[in-house]
């Protein structure tokens, strides 16, 4: 039977060979991800990121791709003094194969974690087929799945039909500010995007995602002695608090939009009127118009707070990840992936979420994508993070079958892209 006569829910000979490949690599994948997890790659640990990046190059050289490390521009940060500083993150790893093939896929992921050096660094078996360790699920496990799926696909007969670009970033957990341009460039050239963030423990994947904004709002006032001449002072803390109250009052005014003030960095001695206040906040929005509305509200709250006498400042930040709503292209791709899962005996559910990832960036580039193709796991961003061990080969098999189906046309990538 020819590939184009085989249904999505059935297995072709190439599918069966790919599944044999990834299942045979289960122990190797486990050894690889636990070794990777032992290297701390906290987002602000430049030494660890630079130590780990060459390990990725060596691993992806097992594929047919051209692999390179790309130094990024420094990431801007607002310091506690209200100034901008630059942090030099690790390099982006990019691997590209067959750029002239008629079908193109962009595959994204990140190798940074939320855990600073010296914090969560142990790996342990917690029973029930689960391992606890930093980045096992989010997302060194996902990178392992991606890599083995690519190797399985390239061992098959259809690789000439499909080219790919892999972009692995060092700064996803802090917003992809250094790597976004490389992600967007690769995504614009692709028909379909595949991102390997962890799935839920029960195997569910993410559907729609909200957009996310981060703001650092800096207020400048004037210091004075709080006992001798307080009337000469202008409190930046009061301005920041005024702003914070206005922003928090916006919650509930538009469906799906949320605002959260995370901290106010300001002040010192109680006998000094504070001259500097920095309000750090986040916002989530379900769609483009809602994100525009939210941004206008934040800036209006800032302008209102600056009406206080002799207060001035600036707004740094905004929606670094646009929303990723469901649309016709996303619905079609999700349906095809569900049908592919059935060939493996998997019932794949897609649930909308307020969380964000590089799938938002890929969608913003105009490319439909599935963004939770990594291992099954849970408790991410905590010291209880775990990975379901058997999901290494399970999800590598799913990804390999998706690649097969894009290559043989059972997933019509060009049609789906045209629906965006």
Q: Do domains 3-209+324-418 and 211-321 have the same CATH topology?
A: no
How far, in Å, CA of 388 to CA of 414, rounded? 34
pLDDT in tens, 126-183: 999 999 999 999 999 999 999 999 999 999 999 999 999 999 999 999 999 999 999 9
pTM: 0.94
Q: What residue ranges do the domains of the chain occupy?
A: 3-209+324-418, 211-321
Question: Domain 211-321, CATH 3.40.50.150 — does that match?
Answer: no
- Rounded mean pLDDT, 242-269: 97
Confidence at residue 259, expressed as pLDDT on a 0 to 100 scale: 98
Confidence at residue 9, expressed as pLDDT on a 0 to 100 scale: 74
CATH code given to domain 3-209+324-418: 3.40.630.10
**Number of neighbouring beta carbons within 10 Å of residue 355:** 16
Confidence at residue 23, expressed as pLDDT on a 0 to 100 scale: 97
Confidence at residue 5, expressed as pLDDT on a 0 to 100 scale: 56
pLDDT band at 7 (very low <50, low <70, confident <90, very high): confident
- Rounded mean pLDDT, 254-262: 97
Residue 10 reports pLDDT greater than 90? no
Residue 3 reports pLDDT greater than 50? no
How far, in Å, CA of 26 to CA of 135, rounded? 18
- Rounded mean pLDDT, 276-299: 97
- Rounded mean pLDDT, 56-74: 98
pLDDT in tens, 303-335: 999 999 999 999 999 999 999 999 999 999 999
Q: What average pLDDT does the chain have?
A: 96
**Number of neighbouring beta carbons within 10 Å of residue 18:** 27
Residue 1 reports pLDDT greater than 70? no
Residue 46, burial from CB neighbour count under 10 angstroms (0-12, 13-18, 19+): middle
Residue 391 reports pLDDT greater than 90? yes
């Amino acid at each position: 039977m020819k590939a184009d006569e085989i249904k999505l829910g059935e297995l072709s000979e190439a599918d069966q060979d790919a599944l044999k490949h990834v299942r045979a690599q289960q122990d190797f994948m486990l050894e690889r991800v636990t070794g990777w997890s032992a290297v701390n790659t906290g987002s602000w640990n430049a030494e660890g990121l630079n130590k780990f990046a060459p390990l990725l190059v060596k691993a992806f050289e097992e594929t047919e791709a051209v692999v390179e490390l790309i130094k990024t521009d420094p990431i801007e940060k607002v310091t506690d003094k209200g100034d901008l500083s630059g942090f030099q993150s690790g390099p982006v790893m990019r691997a590209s194969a067959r750029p002239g093939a008629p079908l193109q896929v962009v595959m994204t992921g990140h190798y940074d974690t939320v855990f600073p050096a010296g914090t969560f660094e142990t790996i342990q078996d917690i029973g029930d087929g689960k391992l606890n360790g930093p980045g096992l699920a989010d997302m060194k496990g996902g990178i392992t799945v991606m890599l083995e799926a690519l190797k399985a696909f390239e061992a098959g007969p259809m690789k000439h039909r499909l080219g790919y670009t892999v972009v692995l970033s060092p700064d996803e957990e802090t917003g992809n500010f250094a790597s976004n341009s490389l992600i967007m460039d690769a995504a614009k050239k692709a028909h379909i995007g595949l991102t390997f963030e962890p799935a839920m423990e029960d195997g569910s994947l993410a559907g729609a995602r909200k957009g996310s904004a981060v703001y650092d709002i800096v207020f400048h006032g004037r210091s004075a002695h709080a006992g001798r001449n307080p009337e000469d002072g202008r409190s930046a803390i009061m301005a920041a608090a005024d702003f914070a109250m206005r922003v928090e009052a916006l919650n509930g005014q538009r469906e799906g939009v949320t605002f959260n003030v995370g901290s106010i960095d300001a002040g010192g001695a109680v006998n000094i009127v504070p001259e500097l206040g920095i309000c750090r906040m986040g916002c989530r929005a379900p769609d483009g118009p809602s994100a525009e509305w939210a941004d206008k509200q934040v800036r209006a709250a800032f302008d209102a707070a600056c009406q206080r006498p002799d207060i001035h400042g600036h707004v740094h930040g905004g929606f670094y990840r646009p929303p990723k709503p469901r649309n016709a292209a996303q619905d079609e791709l999700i349906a095809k992936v569900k049908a592919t899962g059935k060939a493996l005996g998997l019932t794949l559910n897609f649930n909308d979420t307020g969380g964000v990832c590089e799938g938002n960036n890929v969608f913003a580039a105009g490319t439909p994508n599935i963004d939770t193709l990594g291992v099954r796991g849970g408790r991410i961003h905590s010291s209880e993070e775990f990975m379901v061990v058997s999901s290494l080969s399970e999800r590598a098999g799913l990804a390999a079958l998706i690649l097969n189906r894009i290559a043989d046309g059972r997933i019509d990538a060009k049609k789906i892209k045209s629906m965006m």
